[in-house]
Amino acid sequence: MNTGFAITTGSMFATIISVANINWHGMFFAIFALAACAMAVAVVLTDNVVRMAFYLVLSLGATAGLFFLAGAEFVGAMQLMIYVGGTLVLLVFGVMLTAQAPFVSMKTPQRDWVLASILAVCLLAVLVQASVGVDAWRTAAVSVGGGVQREAPEPSATPLGMALLGMRVDNDSSGIVTPSIRSGYLLPFEIVSIHLLVVLVGAAYLARAKRRRTPRAVETAGQSELKEEVRVAS
């Protein structure tokens, strides 16, 4: 009887294994998509600003995972390095600098929540209808099997780099594209470089430590005379 039991469980297991088919691509997409959406909603719902920052980090990390699954490896790595590893670190620094006790948890009044929920529902309805409404967008053009590992990965960075230098080398076999879409990205690349330099200088200037108009010692000594001078001058 024991052997019979073992044989039946073994055969059940074998049939389950042979019949079931977990599409790992779909499963990981589901994991990352749920993580991104859940963390984004958590950012909205939580009051504590430090926790908001942390949930945002998780959400954007899951988004980077989605980018990797969609085959955009360079953009995914860029997202991790620049967005999560740079912009969000900046944001967390800002949070830490201003995380005094009264500002860590600021609650919004109830009526604002009602208005916001109505807005959210309307916007979400419109966007979801647009997403699932177009039939051409629903089917996956390339059927992705259980594993997407190739022997040597396609160079996903080289076409991007060449495009940024102004030369498009990606192979578009559909033949439907118009010439304007196939333009290089050299000019935007240069503009963004200058833009980042300007932003660097501007942000550093905006956030500089400002000197006081009068040093403290002089102020305490001659406070009344100073006030008179200021009144006369203005």
Residue 19 CB, nearest distance to another protein (Å)?
Answer: 9
DSSP type of residue 151: S
Q: Do 50 and 99 form a contact (C-beta atoms < 8 A)?
A: yes
Q: Do 17 and 72 form a contact (C-beta atoms < 8 A)?
A: no
Note whether 89 binds another protein by CB under 8 A.
Answer: yes
Q: Tell me the C-alpha distance between 164 and 173, whole Å.
A: 21
- Using the contact rule CB under 8 A, the part of the chain among 5-13, 81-89, 219-227 near another protein is 81-89
Of 143, 178, 220, 234, the residue at the interface with another protein (CB under 8 A) is 143
Query: Residue length, the chain?
Result: 234
Residues contacting 69, CB < 8 A, separation 6+: 25, 28, 29, 32
Window 163 to 202, contacts with another protein (CB under 8 A):
163-164, 167-174, 176-177, 181, 185, 188, 192, 195-196, 199-200, 202
Full DSSP string of 80-115 = IIIIIIIIHHHHHHHHHHT--HHHHB-PPPHHHHHH
Site string for another protein, 27-66 (x = CB under 8 A): --x---x--xx--xx-xx---xxxxxxx-xx-xxx-x--x
- Binding residues for another protein, rule CB under 8 A, total 131
- Identify residue 186 by its one-letter amino acid code: L
- Identify residue 216 by its one-letter amino acid code: R
Residue 53 CB, nearest distance to another protein (Å)?
Answer: 7
- Using the contact rule CB under 8 A, the part of the chain among 5-13, 117-125, 213-221, 222-230 near another protein is 117-125
- Using the contact rule CB under 8 A, the part of the chain among 4-12, 159-167, 215-223, 226-234 near another protein is 159-167
Note whether 78 binds another protein by CB under 8 A.
Answer: yes
